[in-house]
Structure 1
Amino acid sequence: MQIDEIHDKQGLWIEEFDTGKITINGQQYVGPVCITATEVIPLDKNTAEELTIEDFSQAIEEKPEVILIGTGSKHVFIHPRLTVQLVEKNIGVESMNTAAACRTFMVLRSEGRNVWAWLWPLTAES
């Protein structure tokens, strides 16, 4: 799915997400990534269920308002312990499918909010 034109081009923006790839500022990523307003960080996790609090150490230092977890084509809940650990650090966290996470990221970024997203590409539906 291609996302409509972005008027404010500062920072990083998700331009498109489709089966197996996410395009951010013209660069195509075929694996999971973490995206902030200024940086794309490739992830070494196969699924969002593998995430631990250590995977969020940089985000915890930077204190985003919210962390979005895009779990691929289907919504998968992250471990409740991880949610509690992030909320205890005053960081909101929401998991959803990647399409919803990409749209939410774009809306929050367009409002100037400090949001980070961990995104797994969509997979082909069987």
Structure 2
Amino acid sequence: MKLHADKPDANTVTAYGDGWIAVNGERLSRSVVLASSGERIDWRCSAHDELDAGHFASLLKLMDSPPELVIFGSGKRLRFVRPALLQSLINRGIGVETMDTQAACRTFNILAGEGRRVLAALLIEGSDTGDLVSGDE
């Protein structure tokens, strides 16, 4: 499957596999937050059980104006976080959608390509070399 964005200057997930993603061609095996406005930061969390309210509150500082939506990529499988952890986003009227990380990558590319103010908080757990999906194949 090829992954393309309409806006080449924005962050784009260009490939993914089990335990990694590639952003603008750079392979990452650690959790990351991507903003449609181009910002990218390491998200200091390597497992779903480590998530706390501070992880989600830190997302508010990434963009100049608040995002419309935060896409939470929960790792290899769909897992929801306790609503209390999302309170800082909910209190500001920011939508949160949860999906597995690979689905979150695809959704981020689509919304960012449409020019939407969106963040993707992508949990990357475990790493191996399988399941390559890239536009380079």
Q: TM-score, normalised by structure 2?
A: 0.78
3-state DSSP class of the match of 2:14? Answer: strand
Measured in 2, the distance between the counterparts of 1:24 and 1:66 equals 19
- Once residues 2 and 58 of structure 2 are traced to their aligned partners in structure 1, the CA distance between those partners, rounded to angstroms, is 28
Paired positions, count: 124
Matches within 5 A, 1:93-104: 93-104=96-107
Cα–Cα, structure 1 residues 18 and 103, in superposed 2: closer, same or farther, change >3 Å?
same
* Whole-Å separation in 2 of the counterparts to 1:57 and 1:81: 11
- How many angstroms does 1:120 deviate by? 2.0
**Alpha carbons 2:70, 2:97 under 8 Å: kept:** yes
Deviates more, 1:88-97 or 1:56-65: 56-65
Measure the CA separation in 2 of the matches of 1:70 and 1:58: 16
Unmatched 5+ stretches in structure 1: none
| Stretches of structure 2 lacking an aligned partner (at least 5 in a row) | 129-137
Look up the equivalent residue of 1:83 and give its one-letter code.
L
Instruction: Give the TM-score taking structure 1 as reference length.
Output: 0.84
Residues 5 and 110 in structure 2, CA contact (< 8 A), matched pair in contact too: no
Code of the residue aligned with 2:77 in structure 1: it is: K
Question: Any idea what SS the aligned residue of 1:35 has?
Answer: strand
Aligned-pair identity (%): 30
Higher relative contact order (CA 8 A, sep 6+): 2
Deviations 1:56-105 (A, max 9, x none): 34532431001111011111111111234311111111111011111111
